């Protein structure tokens, strides 16, 4: 799993959404860029939301997908990885906090 800092305007909602980090190829950027493609895709598919860039290097973006019984996580990952300019995609899980007594 990629350890990324998330710069998003809202608190992640892991109860209702699956979050995916999509790592981009940075040495050759296709036209349209994968980020632009994902933004357009999120306008056509209501369950998919483009959240934005992740980290400081613009080498990853984040999308979230509304949870439902019909969502195929492996299929989504494979689909994201077929987008031109995407290196890899992975499901993000909430970080567990260590509680001190």
Q: How far apart are CA 100 and CA 7, in angstroms?
A: 27
Spell out the domain ranges in the chain: 17-86
pTM of the model: 0.77
6-27 pLDDT, tens per residue? Answer: 444 457 788 899 999 999 987 7
**Residue percentage of the chain with pLDDT more than 90:** 50
SS3 labels along the chain: CCCCCCCCCCCCCCCCEEEEEEEECCCCCCCCCHHHHHHHHHHHCCCEEEEEECCCCCCEEEEEEECCCCCCHHHHHHHHHCCCCEEEEEEECCCCCCCCC
């Amino acid at each position: 799993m990629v350890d990324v800092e998330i710069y998003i305007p809202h608190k992640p909602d892991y109860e209702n959404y699956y979050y995916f980090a999509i790592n981009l190829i940075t040495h050759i950027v296709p036209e349209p860029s994968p980020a632009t493609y994902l933004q357009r895709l999120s306008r056509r598919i209501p369950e998919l939301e483009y959240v934005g860039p992740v980290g400081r290097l613009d080498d990853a973006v984040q999308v979230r997908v509304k949870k439902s019984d019909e969502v195929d996580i492996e299929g989504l990952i494979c689909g994201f990885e077929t987008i031109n300019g995407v290196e890899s995609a992975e499901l993000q899980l909430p970080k567990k906090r260590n509680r001190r007594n």
